[in-house]
A = this chain, B = another copy of it.
């Protein structure tokens, strides 16, 4: 959830991003309350764009995005990371490609991921499918995830549900975490 993909003035704004922010804040508050590890996944590129996917480099040249050190690359104010939370920097859609995410999750003994963010068909979905491949069960908080259109969002949620991803609403997260907590006590 970075300014370049969320702010109303951002050229690469994802249309469904803003509406989902209050739900993301609720999920984040729940995780903080339960002292569960929080990962902020951000796309960050070098200024020259040499680390952008080849098929996106033309786009980057005409409209740079998520450039290291710019305000556009920063997490939106509403979801500012707190000290002790993990920032995962990536240059691809999936948070697992070329990052330390898997290694940190293993080190922490994490056995389940809860995913929010944008956008459903790209960064969210590639991360979810890679998580499944790496053997982390996944819950997707469907109303805390946004896409360009509601149709694209729904089609992707269905595909994820079909491979075994658990689909939750934000309102169900507290109860879900309570049950998990009780099981682990």
The digit string for A22-56, where 1 denotes a CB below 8 A from any CB of B, is: 00000000000000000000000000000001111
Which has the most chain B C-beta neighbours within 10 Å: A53, A94, A152?
A: A53
The digit string for A148-183, where 1 denotes a CB below 8 A from any CB of B, is: 100110011011001110000000000000000000
Q: Is the CB of A158 within 8 A of B152?
A: yes
Partner of A133, one of B97, B151, B162: B97
A162 to B14, CA, bound (A): 13
Question: Given the known A-B contacts A155-B155, A162-B121, are A133 and B94 also in contact in the complex, defined by CB atoms under 8 Å?
Answer: yes
Partner of A152, one of B53, B97, B122, B159: B159
Q: Is the CB of A137 within 8 A of B54?
A: yes
Q: Is the CB of B55 within 8 A of A93?
A: no
The digit string for A113-141, where 1 denotes a CB below 8 A from any CB of B, is: 00000000110001001101101010000
Q: Is the CB of A53 within 8 A of B133?
A: yes
Question: Given the known A-B contacts A122-B163, A152-B155, A159-B152, are A135 and B53 also in contact in the complex, defined by CB atoms under 8 Å?
Answer: yes
A135, closest chain B residue (CB): B54
Pairs A–B under 8 Å by Cβ, sample size 13: A55-B135, A55-B163, A93-B129, A93-B132, A94-B133, A97-B130, A121-B159, A121-B162, A122-B159, A122-B163, A129-B129, A152-B159, A155-B155
